[in-house]
């Protein structure tokens, strides 16, 4: 897993309506402005290419489930006019920022950045349909990490939880929606520029509309209690936890990763990959993510060994040697040539978000001050906030509570009741305020006013996804008397902003009621298997 640290970095950014450069910076960083955009400079040795990056404080976590992919779409449109080129450039959209990077001669960098800003001022929306298709193709070919389900279980179907979902917005977003998003978020007051070099290259024109520095999105929660667990996934074990952002926490992630590798691969031979990463989430907290893979016959051993490592560290059994080894590795980041230029992206990102950070000397001092007890405190913090996904069996024996599999129970959901065509024990209620699926095991209810997205299919089906990430699939083929007038109740009640038009499904993809065979309990079990209730 990739690892990020908390420093070295520049000073705080402003939250006002105009962009100003930070008041102070490390000695090897020059601070200036270009077209009222804070700009950070640091020289390189050897006369290599100029590299520059333009950050905007907008990302996937600022969207809604129904508009997911909107920022990514703007990024693609902003780069379209550059076409095929030998120039090395890229754009990326993360949870809380968008980044345009380019490397080449000073003239090439100037031309590229000028072109990006010109496109942001006047997006080539005639390319909208094509870029939507390109994004869907990109998404289909993108591999998902082992932790791809954890965000929706932790945060629900909004904010940071959107990382678990497809980019539904790429199916229906209009030119006006894309332009409005660019005008609101891709502004001079919501940007930071960094350039490797002593001076700003001549000819830069980064003219952008005025705006404001956008705050980071507030985290939501879909977990009533932690530590929590869920079952399923790819066969390995993956855990994440939320800890206070600190140098000690970044060192702890290194210690945990090494402990997992030592116990699960080198000693036990259970896993091939066992690692841990530390990633700042916002200005105050970071996400620690640990993973270990497993073959089917080794899954129990990996689960047990993984939890044993976590329990050992939580109990305070961390050696001075483990800390010293992690600290020595972190100190190596200061030994690289052109440290200022290498650190510019992280400097600029922290200026963008307003995170007050450290100079290299301050960071070294904080690393030196970290004690074993500091790591023990982080271990306890990680455990207390942990969400772990395991294959197969429950891990309540280790103090984890199962993440909710059903919505909070309602005494008697109001509305018309539609019996399942497969099981008398299952029904769907279409009410004035919510759609509720009732089964022998529990119920799933999605309120219309808490609907993150409703997927609308031409065949009449409606899939409602709540802010809590629970899904109610309303399939007319599976429930009795689910007539168009009842579907119209749903359509009228769900906010228009949550509607996601879906393409026509292949006939084989439309669920059909199976013939009733067996007893009531058998039919109910079969229905539940086909429904696969839960979140998604």
Task: Provide DSSP, 467-484.
Answer: TTSBEEEE-TTTBTT--H
* Residue 260 backbone phi and psi in degrees, to 5: -65, -45
Q: Which residues of 191-213 are buried (b: 16+ CB within 10 A; e: fewer)?
A: bbbbbbbeebbeebebebeebbb
- Is-same-fold flag (228-336+361-402; 416-531)? no
- Specify the pairing of strand 387-390 against strand 401-402: unpaired
In the β-sheet with 274-280, what is the strand arrangement from edge to edge?
274-280, 285-292, 237-244, 387-390, 228-231, 401-402
- Pick from 234-238, 267-271, 451-455: least confident: 234-238
Lookup result for tokens 């919501």:
190
Cα angle at 151 between 193 and 128, to 5 degrees?
55
pTM here is 0.91
Q: How confident is the model at residue 522 (pLDDT cuts 50, 70, 90)?
A: very low
Say if domain 228-336+361-402 classifies as CATH 3.30.830.10.
Answer: yes
Largest CA distance in the chain: 80
416-531 — its CATH code? 2.30.29
- CA dihedral 482→486→487→491, nearest 10 degrees, is -160
The two structure tokens encoding residue 278: 């530390």
Render pLDDT for 223-257 as a digit per residue (tens, 0 to 9): 999 999 999 887 899 999 999 999 999 999 999 99
The answer to whether 472 and 407 are in contact (CB under 8 A) is no
The answer to whether 189 and 210 are in contact (CB under 8 A) is yes
Lookup result for tokens 């640990």:
290
- pLDDT of res. 22: 57
Q: How confident is the model at residue 144 (pLDDT cuts 50, 70, 90)?
A: confident
C-alpha distances (whole Å) from 277 to each of 255, 260, 289, 449 are 10, 12, 5, 37
Task: Give how far the C-alpha of residue 127 lies from the chain's centroid of Cα atoms, to the nearest Å.
Answer: 27
pLDDT of 519 over the 50 cut: no
Average pLDDT estimate for 121-128: 96
**Partner residues linked to 443 by β-bridges:** 438
Structural domain boundaries of the chain? 30-147+155-196, 228-336+361-402, 416-531
pLDDT of 154 over the 70 cut: yes
- Specify the pairing of strand 427-430 against strand 228-231: unpaired
Average pLDDT estimate for 308-326: 97
Nearest CA among 217, 333, 221 for reference residue 284 = 217
Classified by CATH at the fold level, domain 30-147+155-196 comes out as Cytochrome Bc1 Complex; Chain A, domain 1 (3.30.830)
Render pLDDT for 56-92 as a digit per residue (tens, 0 to 9): 999 999 999 999 999 999 999 999 887 667 789 999 9
Check residues 224 and 2 and name the one with the higher pLDDT. Answer: 224
Q: Which residues of 275-310 are buried (b: 16+ CB within 10 A; e: fewer)?
A: bbbbbbbbeebbbbbbbbbbeeebbebbbbbbbebb
Average pLDDT estimate for 15-28: 51
- pLDDT of res. 4: 59
| Mean pLDDT of the residues in the chain | 90
- pLDDT of res. 529: 35
In whole angstroms, give the CA distance from residue 382 to residue 331. 24
The answer to whether 482 and 470 are in contact (CB under 8 A) is no
pLDDT of 10 over the 70 cut: no
C-alpha distances (whole Å) from 513 to each of 48, 464, 505 are 66, 20, 17
- Pick from 20-34, 281-295, 376-390, 395-409: least confident: 20-34
- Pick from 74-88, 269-283, 426-440: least confident: 74-88
In whole angstroms, give the CA distance from residue 217 to residue 57. 10
């Amino acid at each position: 897993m990739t690892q990020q640290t908390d420093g070295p970095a520049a000073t705080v950014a402003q939250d006002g309506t105009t962009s100003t450069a930070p008041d102070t910076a490390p000695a090897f960083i020059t601070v200036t402005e270009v077209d009222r955009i804070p700009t950070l400079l640091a020289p390189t040795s050897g006369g290599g290419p100029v590299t520059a990056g333009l950050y905007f404080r907008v990302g996937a976590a600022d969207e809604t489930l129904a508009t997911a992919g909107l920022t990514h779409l703007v990024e693609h449109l902003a780069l379209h006019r550059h076409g095929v080129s030998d120039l090395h450039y890229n754009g990326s959209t993360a949870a809380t920022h968008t980044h345009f990077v380019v490397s080449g001669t000073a003239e090439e960098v100037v031309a590229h950045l000028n072109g990006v800003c010109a496109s942001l001022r006047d997006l080539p929306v005639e390319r909208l349909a094509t870029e939507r298709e390109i994004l869907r193709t990109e998404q289909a070919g993108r591999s998902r990490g082992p932790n791809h389900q954890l965000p929706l279980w932790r945060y629900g179907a909004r904010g940071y939880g959107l990382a678990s979902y497809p980019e539904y917005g790429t199916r229906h977003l209009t030119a006006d929606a894309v332009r409005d998003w660019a005008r609101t978020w891709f502004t001079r007051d919501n940007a930071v520029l960094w350039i490797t070099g002593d001076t700003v290259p001549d000819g830069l024109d980064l003219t952008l509309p005025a705006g404001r520095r956008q705050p980071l999105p507030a985290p939501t929660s879909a977990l009533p209690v932690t530590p929590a667990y869920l079952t399923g996934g790819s066969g390995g074990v993956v855990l994440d936890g939320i800890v206070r952002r600190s140098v000690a926490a970044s060192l702890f992630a290194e210690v945990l990763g090494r402990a997992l590798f030592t116990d699960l691969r080198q000693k036990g031979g259970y896993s091939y990959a066992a690692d841990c990463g530390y990633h700042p989430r916002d200005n105050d907290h970071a996400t620690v993510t640990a993973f270990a893979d497993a073959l089917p016959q080794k899954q129990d051993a990996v689960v047990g060994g993984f939890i044993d490592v976590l329990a050992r560290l939580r109990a305070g059994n961390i050696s001075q040697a483990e800390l010293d080894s992690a600290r020595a590795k972190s100190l190596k980041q200061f030994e690289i040539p052109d440290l200022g230029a290498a650190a510019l992206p992280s400097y600029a990102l922290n200026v963008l978000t307003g995170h007050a950070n450290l100079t290299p000397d301050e960071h070294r001092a904080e690393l030196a001050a970290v004690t074993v007890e500091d790591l023990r405190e982080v271990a306890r913090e990680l455990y207390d906030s942990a969400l772990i996904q395991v294959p197969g069996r429950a891990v309540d024996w280790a103090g984890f509570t199962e993440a909710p599999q059903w919505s909070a129970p309602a005494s008697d959901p109001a509305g018309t009741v539609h019996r399942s065509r497969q099981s008398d024990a299952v029904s769907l209620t279409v009410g004035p305020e919510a759609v509720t699926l009732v089964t022998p095991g529990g119920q799933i209810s999605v309120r219309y006013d808490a609907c993150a997205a409703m997927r609308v299919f031409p065949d009449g089906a409606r899939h409602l996804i709540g802010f809590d990430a629970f899904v109610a699939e309303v399939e007319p083929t599976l429930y009795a008397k689910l007539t168009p007038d009842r579907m119209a109740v749903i359509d009228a009640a769900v906010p228009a902003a949550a509607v996601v038009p879906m393409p026509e499904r292949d006939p084989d993809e439309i669920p059909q009621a199976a013939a009733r065979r067996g007893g009531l309990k058998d039919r109910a079990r079969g229905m539940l298997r086909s429904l696969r209730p839960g979140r998604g």
